[in-house]
Amino acid sequence: MIIPSYEDMLAAHERIKPHIRRTPVRVSDYLNELTGAQLFFKCENFQEPGAFKVRGATNAVFGLDEAQAAKGVATHSSGNHASCLSYAAMLRGIPCNVVMPRTAPQAKKDTVRRYGGKITECEPSTSSREETFAKVQAATGGDFIHPYNDPRVIAGQGTCSKELVEQTDGLDMVVAPIGGGGMISGTCLTLSTLAPETRVIAAEPEQADDAYRSFKAGHIIADDAPKTIADGLLVPLKDLTWHFVKNHVSDILTASDPEIIEAMKLTWKHLRVVMEPSSAVPLATILKNRDVFAGKRVGIIITGGNVDLDKLPWT
């Protein structure tokens, strides 16, 4: 297992700088009053493909040598990594093959195809995803860029927290969603060196709480096919992301689907940004645990904004 270093994150930031956006940090007086905390929202939904995963994908794609790049890249993803990898591959002019669950939001499938990615659909389970991907990779020979359990991807995701620290005047905590753990791992990678006094809190849906249960048990517990409105958080931890979770995450908090939907509506209304359900999980957990966050300066990473507008969860 190759564990990325802080220096890998710094190198990734230089590598991807020409290809990504330095996203803004937004605040809302209303949400501050509602939670009793000072909240700083890092808007990764403003990236061109609409998600933070463009950081890790771009770092991996532009780190390939010419011989590797010529064969293209391949991955499996519920949506955002697929679209971000397709985008990065398009920028470099190489092929991209992705395996996606047939139930993935149509908006995410459309984005993958818009950037030139070729989709092979699978059933909505981890086992089906991995079995289908093995066949696709064998047929294409593309470099496997895992959605999260990849040191290149984690180093790229860590650049988000580097910017967040630079854009705020000290944070007590940073809260980010957790599924497979790529963003949380990158956050831990960066903050453990750049701001070791800042606590990292992971936020997870109650209906897909395998990371929470893993954290409490002290070993990885993997669910095969959980169901939650937060479709970007359906995958389990792997060995590399588990390393960061068990060593650096302070706590994992959960929220129900109704709580996630309510938080999503609040941010759409008062922060005035489009975010997907997975991105609303941090605010949902803060609202549920106000005593934990009251009086604190809290960074929140809005991980993505790719929403099917014809199927909003409150309609």
Per-residue model confidence (pLDDT) at position 153: 98
| Mean pLDDT over each residue of the chain, to the nearest integer | 95
Is the predicted pLDDT of residue 220 greater than 80, yes or no? yes
SS3 148: coil
Per-residue model confidence (pLDDT) at position 22: 98
* Closest to 45 in 3D by CA, of 309, 307, 312, 260: 307
Per-residue model confidence (pLDDT) at position 140: 92
Across the range 211-233, mean pLDDT stands at 91
Return d(Cα 41, Cα 26) in angstroms, integer: 5
pLDDT tens digits for range 105-146: 887 888 899 999 999 999 988 889 889 999 999 999 999 999
pLDDT tens digits for range 264-310: 999 999 999 999 999 999 999 999 999 999 999 999 999 999 887 78
Sequence ranges of the chain with CATH classification 3.40.50.1100:
6-52+158-302, 54-144
Across the range 92-107, mean pLDDT stands at 92
Give 1's pLDDT tier (boundaries 50, 70, 90): confident
Per-residue model confidence (pLDDT) at position 292: 98
Return d(Cα 311, Cα 293) in angstroms, integer: 32
Q: How many CA atoms within 13 Å lie on the side-chain side of 127?
A: 5
The secondary element (H helix, E strand) that includes residue 199 is strand 199-205
Is the predicted pLDDT of residue 225 greater than 80, yes or no? no
pTM of the model: 0.94
Is the predicted pLDDT of residue 215 greater than 80, yes or no? yes
pLDDT tens digits for range 238-257: 999 999 999 999 999 999 99
Per-residue model confidence (pLDDT) at position 275: 93
CATH topology classification for 6-52+158-302: Rossmann fold (3.40.50)
Per-residue model confidence (pLDDT) at position 197: 97
Across the range 216-244, mean pLDDT stands at 91
Residue with tokens 């990065």: 88
Is the predicted pLDDT of residue 224 greater than 80, yes or no? no
By the 8 A CB rule, do 234 and 125 touch? no
By the 8 A CB rule, do 114 and 88 touch? no
* Closest to 9 in 3D by CA, of 145, 190, 198: 190
Per-residue model confidence (pLDDT) at position 52: 97
Nearest 5°: the CA angle 49, 20, 64 is 95
Burial class from Cβ neighbours inside 10 Å (0-12, 13-18, 19+) for residue 38 reads: middle
Burial class from Cβ neighbours inside 10 Å (0-12, 13-18, 19+) for residue 131 reads: middle
**CATH (one of 3.40.50.1970, 3.40.50.740, 3.40.640.10, 3.40.50.1100) for 54-144:** 3.40.50.1100
Query: Is the C-alpha dihedral spanning 114, 306, 230, 210 positive or negative?
Result: positive
Give 223's pLDDT tier (boundaries 50, 70, 90): confident
pLDDT tens digits for range 189-198: 999 999 999 9
pLDDT tens digits for range 54-91: 999 999 999 999 999 999 999 998 788 999 999 999 99
Question: Could you tell me how many residues make up the chain?
Answer: 315
